[in-house]
Chains A and B, each alone.
Chain A
């Protein structure tokens, strides 16, 4: 930073401090439960291993498929997931939610393992189908007394970030060993899906 810039910066800070001496207490409305609503929303997708692994699998598969799937899948998933969440909020019955979530892990892990490269619309359809189950689970499991908007924003952001984690990990696909690592990750996710399926049916 040059000395001129530093002087201008310090002068601005001094003026701000001076102006704050004349400020009054702001009385904008504060709503209780907002922060906890957002944090609950963020926590929800990352607190369940089944959700986390499925979201990461979407990112991994997107990275394997390359453009445009690398961004199309993470764009499609939250939107359709929100539709599922809306169904949950409205109390529309969706039987076998837990089975759907487990199946999403088995199939999404499977496509990563086999490195399948179907047309984009098939990939988007598969991902969107499973997104409904994940969204539905989020929609029905809202803790009471939370702020709906902030909860929704929190869990959409967390879901998107999990896709981002998957895509970032998936960037190792450019190396041969990275490709093997991704396929092994797919196998692991698939195996975990079978475990969750067994748990849901037990």
Chain B
């Protein structure tokens, strides 16, 4: 379990998109936050198992794309419906979970590892989205959007790194 938990907290390519989605859900309100809190860890868990089962990865710069999409939505303060947030949370969880799961071969202890991983995601989403929902002064919500723009900027550079590596 600690392996999964630490893996998540030591992987900026996983934790940053999760934080971005939590910021986005927080900006939209409690309903979006609750939906993300339940759906993201669940879809990540499913994605991990699917990745382990099929053992296939992609050469696409998944982390960079996630940074750009979720950071961009936060920076733009996108007025997304609950349905759209649901789809985005499901997609993020499945794709990143798949990438996590595809790197390891199956064993029973993996259940604990994945439980630790989604536990970390649950904690981060709960803390970040609850924090943003509570923000009231307008400048604090602008600060959240600025954080989104930083995530986009990091994503662009990550895309550059991926292209340079070929």
The interface of chain A, by Cβ under 8 A from chain B, is 23-31, 71, 74-76, 78-79, 81-83, 85-91, 139, 148-150, 152-153, 156-157, 160
Interface size class of B (residues with CB under 8 A): 20 to 34
Query: Chain A at the B interface: mostly helix, strand, loop or mixed?
Result: helix
Known A24-B2, A149-B63; judge A89-B150 contact (CB<8 A).
Answer: no
CB of A160 to closest CB in B, whole Å = 5
Whether the Cβ atoms of A82 and B10 lie closer than 8 Å is: no
Give 9 closest A-B pairs by Cβ, nearest first.
A28-B6, A86-B160, A152-B157, A89-B160, A82-B153, A148-B161, A82-B156, A26-B2, A78-B153
Cα-based distance from A153 to B153 in the complex (angstroms): 8
Whether the Cβ atoms of A26 and B5 lie closer than 8 Å is: yes
Other than A89-B163, A149-B154, give 7 A-B pairs with Cβ distance below 8 A: A71-B145, A82-B153, A85-B160, A89-B164, A90-B163, A152-B157, A156-B150
Cα-based distance from A87 to B6 in the complex (angstroms): 34
Whether the Cβ atoms of A83 and B158 lie closer than 8 Å is: no
Known A75-B75, A90-B160, A149-B13; judge A82-B5 contact (CB<8 A).
Answer: no
Q: Does B18 have its Cβ within 8 Å of any Cβ on chain A?
A: no
Residue of A nearest to B147 (CB): A160
Whether the Cβ atoms of B3 and A89 lie closer than 8 Å is: no
Whether the Cβ atoms of A89 and B157 lie closer than 8 Å is: yes
Residues B139-166 near A (CB distance < 8 A): 139, 142, 145-146, 149-150, 152-161, 163-164
Contact of A139 among B4, B6, B158, B160 (CB under 8 A): B160
Residue of A nearest to B139 (CB): A71
Known A82-B154, A160-B146; judge A28-B159 contact (CB<8 A).
Answer: no
Chain A residues lying within 8 Å of B152, measured Cβ to Cβ, are 78-79, 82
Whether the Cβ atoms of A85 and B158 lie closer than 8 Å is: no
Residue of B nearest to A139 (CB): B160
Cα-based distance from A88 to B163 in the complex (angstroms): 12
